[in-house]
């Protein structure tokens, strides 16, 4: 018998439905809906941040939205033993990876799909977009360029 046997406990399930705002990063998510990668380019130092940041994290000047190509380079990756649910329909191996999109000064941690199971460093990638955008994980890169 536990020492806390006098503590009254019940099991409850709470479900919350709410609308969340992406605030100043909204252009990035609207870009995902339209099949584009939207970055923030600093109006002072010129750094390009992806995903978009409305304010430069380097010099704190205003950044303006710019559309990048959907191409990028694989910097590093680790193949996942379990494919994320929302990518299973692709039927290919998936890695969690760092990718630098062409024109960006930053890299992103994203999912990379490789039908030929080749996640070599330096491999060229192209972004693909899922039909419904809710989170930053609702796009991925593929080696099938």
* Cβ neighbour number for residue 134 with a 10 Å cutoff: 11
How far apart are CB 60 and Zn ion at their closest, in Å? 7
Joined together, the tokens standing for residue 140 give 């991925």
Taking the complex as a whole, how short is the minimal distance between the CB of residue 63 and Zn ion, in angstroms? Answer: 7
Residue 60 gets which letter from DSSP? -
* Nearest residue to 123 (alpha-carbon basis) of 77, 82, 66, 62: 77
Q: How far is the CB of 68 from Zn ion (least distance, A)?
A: 17
42 vs 68, beta carbon nearer Zn ion: 42
Torsion of CA 137, 49, 35, 99, to 10 degrees: -60
Alpha-carbon distance of 46 to 42, in angstroms, equals 5
Report in angstroms how near the CB of residue 103 gets to Zn ion at its nearest.
Answer: 16
Nearer to Zn ion, 61 or 67 (CB): 61
Binding site for Zn ion (CB under 5 A): 42, 44-45, 56, 58-59, 61
User: Which of 45/145 has CB closer to Zn ion?
Assistant: 45
User: What tokens were used for 99?
Assistant: 């990718």
Nearer to Zn ion, 63 or 74 (CB): 63
């Amino acid at each position: 018998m536990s020492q806390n046997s006098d503590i009254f406990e019940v099991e409850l399930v709470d479900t919350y439905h709410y609308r969340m705002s992406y605030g100043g990063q909204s252009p990035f998510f609207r870009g995902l809906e339209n099949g584009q990668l939207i970055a923030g380019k600093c109006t002072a130092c010129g750094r390009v941040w992806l995903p978009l940041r409305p304010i430069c994290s380097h010099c704190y000047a205003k950044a303006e939205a710019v559309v990048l190509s959907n191409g990028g380079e694989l910097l590093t990756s680790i193949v996942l033993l379990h494919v994320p649910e929302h990518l299973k329909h692709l039927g290919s191996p998936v890695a969690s990876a760092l990718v630098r999109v062409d024109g960006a000064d930053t890299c992103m941690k994203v999912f990379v799909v490789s039908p030929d199971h080749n996640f070599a460093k330096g491999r060229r990638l192209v972004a693909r977009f899922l039909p419904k955008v809710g989170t930053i994980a609702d796009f991925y890169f593929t080696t099938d360029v």
